[in-house]
Chains A and B, each alone.
Chain A
Amino acid sequence: MHIIFGGAFNGKRQYVKEQLADPSFSWHETELPALGQTAIIAGVEQWIRKQLEERQSEQAILAAVQQLVDSPGERIWILTDISRGIVPLDPLERQWRDVTGRTYQYLFKQARHITRIWYGIPQTIKGDGQNEYLYENRR
């Protein structure tokens, strides 16, 4: 399980498209694939927002994510950071950030490898034991 993480419009999808040669991955935008499917899942935060708008509970959202993680097959999650702004007044907006944050924390714990993308530049933040803060370490 891999995670590609970073701010909006930082080139995360582009990075995955460039790096991934394996054609067995199917691309899922703002939706979860069927259990057991080998897939790339992008726009997870928008999927969460949609669930909340449809009055799904946080427990149901997390359970769906957990079921998928526990099912067979390899998956790449593309996660957009929405965590660094001010706490919004609107309850749904607040709930969206809360549930997204807790879902991301769960996914980060489960992932074997996490790559952060900063304007197209990758940095391993979990997974290879090297000091990735040194730019020389990158390929």
Chain B
Amino acid sequence: MAHELIFISGGVRSGKSAYAESLARKAPGERRLYIASGVANDSEMAERITRHRQDRAKDGWWTIEQPQQLSAVLPLIQPDDVVLWDCVTTWLANELYEGFEQGELCVEQPGCMDQKWKELQKTIDAIRKQATRFVIVSNEILDEPLAAPQYQEWLGKIHQWLTRHADQAIEMENGVAIRRK
């Protein structure tokens, strides 16, 4: 099926990224694009990001670092690409807490996140129109009370939108892919 959208969510070290990569590898396509939204906060993280990027490059992936504003990748995407985005949770944190240095957090500005969310929906639709398969990875972090209810509320809203719009929705449990849709 062309222009397929697949949503994968799981806990930390659940095997979700590896499974997402395998799904992307199986899809027919000209190029494999990996959109990474993680930001290195320390040297261990930076090394890990570099190592992952090198591993993927050997495997024929092209990595785009895009911690925020996903729409910036659109000019780089061509018809028949296979696209993987890892992951929604880091992107959301980067967007919600944007402006930390200036003391003007997006999460505290009325309408700021709504605007970003609208843009994200459009971007996901636009990537899907080009790609043969678009795999989106996220995390399971709504099963515990957090001190960041706004973050949780946005994540739940985004995940629900994704399960509604995806062709497949998959929950990862320790390497086992449970197909929910």
Q: In the complex, are the beta carbons of B142 and A8 less than 8 A apart?
A: yes
The 3 closest A-B pairs by CB, nearest first: A9-B156, A85-B144, A7-B142
One of A11, A85, A133 near B160 (C-beta < 8 A) = A11
Distance between Cα atoms of A123 and B140 in the complex (Å): 17
Distance between Cα atoms of A10 and B153 in the complex (Å): 9
Q: In the complex, are the beta carbons of A82 and B144 less than 8 A apart?
A: yes
Distance between Cα atoms of A135 and B152 in the complex (Å): 26
One of A7, A11, A84, A135 near B181 (C-beta < 8 A) = A135
What size tier do the contact residues of chain A reach? 10 to 19
By a CB distance below 8 angstroms, the chain A residues around B144 are: 81-86
CB distance from B179 to the nearest CB of A (A): 5
Distance between Cα atoms of A81 and B140 in the complex (Å): 12
By a CB distance below 8 angstroms, the chain B residues around A120 are: 160, 163-164
Q: In the complex, are the beta carbons of B180 and A81 less than 8 A apart?
A: no
By a CB distance below 8 angstroms, the chain A residues around B179 are: 135
Q: In the complex, are the beta carbons of A119 and B156 less than 8 A apart?
A: yes
What string of 1s and 0s marks CB contacts (under 8 Å) between B88-104 and chain A?
00000000000000000
By a CB distance below 8 angstroms, the chain B residues around A121 are: 163, 169, 180-181
Residue B159, interface by CB 8 Å: yes
By a CB distance below 8 angstroms, the chain A residues around B11 are: 84
Q: In the complex, are the beta carbons of B155 and A118 less than 8 A apart?
A: no
Residues of chain B touching chain A, judged by Cβ–Cβ distance below 8 Å, are 9, 11, 140, 142-146, 152-153, 155-157, 159-160, 162-164, 169, 171, 178-181
Distance between Cα atoms of A83 and B171 in the complex (Å): 18
CB distance from A103 to the nearest CB of B (A): 15
Candidate in A10, A81, A120, A133 with the most chain B CB atoms within 10 angstroms: A120
CB distance from B180 to the nearest CB of A (A): 5
- CB-nearest residue of chain A to B180: A121
By a CB distance below 8 angstroms, the chain A residues around B9 are: 119
Q: Which of A82-122 contact B (CB under 8 A)?
A: 82-86, 118-121
- CB-nearest residue of chain B to A117: B160
- CB-nearest residue of chain B to A100: B145
**A/B interface sample: 29 pairs, CB < 8 A:** A7-B140, A7-B142, A8-B145, A8-B152, A9-B155, A9-B160, A10-B142, A10-B156, A10-B160, A81-B142, A81-B143, A82-B143, A82-B144, A83-B143, A84-B11, A84-B143, A85-B144, A85-B145, A86-B144, A118-B163, A118-B171, A119-B9, A119-B156, A119-B162, A120-B160, A120-B163, A120-B164, A121-B163, A121-B181
CB distance from A88 to the nearest CB of B (A): 9
